[in-house]
Amino acid sequence: MRQETFIARHQREWEVLERWLGLDLKRSTKGQQDPGIGGGKDKAAALDAAGFPQAYRRVCQQLALARIRAYSPQLVERLQALMQAGHQRLYRTRRPEWRTLQRFVAQDFPRRLRREWRYLAASVLLLYGPMLVMVVLVRYKPELIYSLYPAEQVAQFESMYDPTQHTQMLGRSSQSNLAAFGFYVMHNVSIGFQSMAGGLFAGVGSMLALLANGLMIGAVAGYLTAVGFGGTFWSFVVGHSAWELTAIVISGAAGLKLGVKLLVPGRASRGAALVAAGRESAPLILGAFLMLVVAAFIEAYWSSIVWMPVSVKYVAGGCMWTVVLTWLGTGGRRAAG
């Protein structure tokens, strides 16, 4: 095959590969045309990451043919440069996992969460509605807490948040920070899992989990406020509540989505609809898990500090809520645009 015919047959493919690799090679070979000139469809014009390995193998074969047929040094040099650039791209070091995680946290997770705003809004109402009602009721009728907790556990709450007891760590017994962190991770994740997995029962389990947590948290908050321990309680929870409560809401939203897809699968079968909903909810579940770990860390190492002024803890808690709401409300917007 003559060199001109060889170039005419493959040069459009080379042009597309060069653009895809970000190359700016000098084109001094004879018989080349502007890749935008000429009719017909070209498979190379649709080159993407999936088709790149095949395009790379073809250019290696074409380089071998150009050498065997003693084509011009300019053509061989061009194909050699394409082959080398393709080799570097194909066998380059994979992006570090931490960068993938960074992109997920900063962009993908909040963007995905905002798409599910309907489920998120329902989850907020199911958790915070009963919580606020219970705070008000128990604040004025403290005895209502015994309808949710046994007397022994109520006494334990009083001991944990009694401001007259000078303990080293607020809100817990005297275990180490590391042990407390492990306990909080397991406890928080179990609540998040219940809120999410309950969606498999047509969403009823998720609704009950959110309602129960709202009632129980509200009852404790209202009771401790009523008996005069509100200052120690609120200063303890304000630091990590933004991460923990928001993660529970997100877990509940994921569970509600699973339940709705089971009840209303559309044209797909229930199994297929559940699998699709699971894939769509996976980022929410992973993001909620990361938030619960952050909450456990803050709860173990910051919230339990006794000597810290209450005003400092309230300011820090306000900052945490601002960070969480800003991150989830704006994260990924610029990248999406």
Tell me: the pLDDT tens digits for 163-203? Answer: 887 566 777 766 688 888 898 999 989 999 999 989 888 89
* HSE value, Cβ hemisphere, 13 Å, CA-based, for 179: 6
33 shares its domain with 102: no
177 shares its domain with 154: yes
The confidence score (pLDDT) of residue 167 equals 61
Residues of the chain below pLDDT 50: 26-45, 336-337
Among 66, 90, 114, the domain-final residue is: 90
17 shares its domain with 113: no
103 shares its domain with 205: yes
Among 90, 120, 145, the domain-final residue is: 90
What is the DSSP code (8-state) at residue 142?
A: G
List the structure tokens of 167.
């303990």
180 shares its domain with 216: yes
* HSE value, Cβ hemisphere, 13 Å, CA-based, for 127: 25
Asked whether the beta carbons of 130 and 211 are under 8 A apart, the reply is yes
Q: How far is CA 126 from CA 91, 160, 250, in A?
A: 50, 28, 12
Q: Which of 202, 197, 212, 213 is nearest to 281 (CA)?
A: 197
183-321-170 Cα angle (round to 5): 40
81 shares its domain with 107: no
Q: How far is CA 238 from CA 31, 101, 289, in A?
A: 72, 27, 19
What is the DSSP code (8-state) at residue 147?
A: G
Q: What are 243-264's pLDDT values in tens digits? A: 999 999 999 999 999 999 889 8
222 shares its domain with 307: yes
C-alpha 315: how far from chain center: 26
103 shares its domain with 57: no
What is the DSSP code (8-state) at residue 149?
A: S
- The total number of structural domains in the chain stands at 2
174 shares its domain with 46: no
In sequence order, the β-bridge partners of residue 169 are: 305
C-alpha dihedral (51, 52, 55, 60), degrees to nearest 10:
-150
- In whole angstroms, give the CA distance from residue 109 to residue 114: 9
The confidence score (pLDDT) of residue 41 equals 40
153 shares its domain with 28: no
Among 47, 64, 90, the domain-final residue is: 90
- pTM value surpassing 0.95: no
Helix then strand count (H, E) for the chain reads: 14, 0
Residue whose pair of structure tokens reads 């080398």 in the numeric block: 84
* 160 contacts: CB under 8 Å, gap ≥ 6: 170, 171, 172
- In whole angstroms, give the CA distance from residue 145 to residue 218: 9
C-alpha 128: how far from chain center: 23
147 shares its domain with 118: yes
86 shares its domain with 108: no
Domain that includes residue 296, residue range: 98-336
